[in-house]
Amino acid sequence: MMRRVAADTAHAAAHLAALLGFRLVGSPVYLLCVSAAALALTKGIWRVILIVALFTVLESIYFSFGNCFIALGKANYTVGIGVAVEIFFLSIFLLGMWWAPSLDVLLEANILRSLLLVGMAVLVVRRWLFPLRVSWDTQFIREGVPFILTTLLALLGEKIDTLLLGYLTGYETVGHYHLALRIVFASLFVPSVAGVAFFPRLSAHGLSAENRRTILRGAGFLLALGVLAMGVGFLFASPLTGLLYGSLSGSVTPLLRSLTLLFPLSFLNLFLSSILQALYQERKVLRALAICTGAGIVANCALIPLFGAYGAVYARILSALIRLGILIWYLRHLFSQPESPTGRRYEVEELTLPAAGQW
């Protein structure tokens, strides 16, 4: 949706309507599946899981509006809504915890927060952008399949080393490894934000001369930032883990030092994946992710029995290197082609339903 809106801002309402139609169908299915799984597997806390699933769905719906704002060059709407709602949420949450601290207060505060996010986004769209409606677009769903598969593979790639480490070693080792890995994951908002910032321009104008320079500058900046983060993480691993994990820092620090190579690799991987998706090359991103996930599974099975948690570290680094090499090769091939001055345009007539079918 973000790519469509960026390439065709005049018909942003129709493109958002197609995504909202998918949300309208998909959200109840998701809640039903989560409820069934919670009842079958957790019994006593199924209500908590269902409430968490509900505000997760609402936040996801809000992100759809947020992506639309960014694609339209209205990121200030996203910032304004986020700041206002977060201030209100923290006030209500802290007041509730002071008055009657409980899990229910936490859940209710989060439900209120997610409802406010969606409500304010709807208000902003209807008041300052365009009338809000819902439609169904089969082509939109088909185009989304590679993105869905990429997300699933990314989740699998993030968890497979943890699962194999737990199966081949022990849960204490898994805990130390995961604590070190969380510090790396916490930094990934940097390339994610950079990718989102470049996404609309690339979707709208393709590989123009200016965009080629922007990509190279962005990749160089993130590489330098990743190398800096690697150096800082390596040198200050001990005080950082001591601050975060206390007595466990002695076991986590060596793992964190080994994982610091992931900073520049992950920064570039996320940025280049976003660039290729903006340029309508999401199938290549999916192919690269599938290859590196398969390589990661094989490497984990081979290295964990030999090196324990460090085997998982080496396997993750190897997988990241393979992915980066493939993405660079794909992008280099695109750069070798003649300049593409504009992005893809969509026929809006195929997106909307008759007036009787719209909300």
Q: CA–CA distance from 151 to each of 28, 80, 127, 154, 273 (Å)? A: 20, 28, 33, 5, 12
Question: What are the pLDDT digits (tens) for 298-312?
Answer: 999 999 999 999 999
Residue ranges in the chain modelled with pLDDT below 70: 340-359
Predicted confidence at residue 61, as pLDDT, reads 95
Nearest to 291 by CA among 330, 336, 335: 330
Structure confidence at residue 341 (pLDDT)? 52
Nearest-angstrom CA–CA distance, 79 and 255: 36
The pTM of this model reads 0.83
Per-residue pLDDT, 162: 86
pLDDT at position 340 is 56
Q: In the structure encoding, which two tokens stand for residue 51, read together?
A: 């409430």
**Whole-Å CA distances, 335 to 212, 272, 328, 332:** 8, 13, 10, 5
- What is the per-residue pLDDT across 135-158, written as a single tens digit (0 to 9) for each? 999 988 898 899 999 999 888 888
Q: Residue 134 is encoded by which pair of tokens? A: 């819902």
